[in-house]
Amino acid sequence: MNDELHALSGAYAVHALPYGERARFEAHLPGCPACAAEIRHLRETAARLAETAAEPPPP
């Protein structure tokens, strides 16, 4: 397991990696079910967060 690559999963899930790191991570991804699952969960969470609406605080 490459901890350096695994640490990139959060940034990858929200499309925040520069090209070189993204390419390296994508080469790692097919052989790592743990990263694939983590990315799936992170993307689901990001989608839920994007659906929420901020409300102003009460006076």
Residues 6+ apart with CB under 8 A from 17: 8, 11, 25
pLDDT in tens, 2-55: 688 889 999 999 999 999 999 999 999 999 999 999 999 999 998 888 888 777
CB atoms within 10 A of CB 39: 19
**Mapping DSSP to helix (H, G, I), strand (E, B) and coil, where does residue 40 land?**
helix
pTM: 0.76
Contact 25, 17 (CB under 8 A): yes
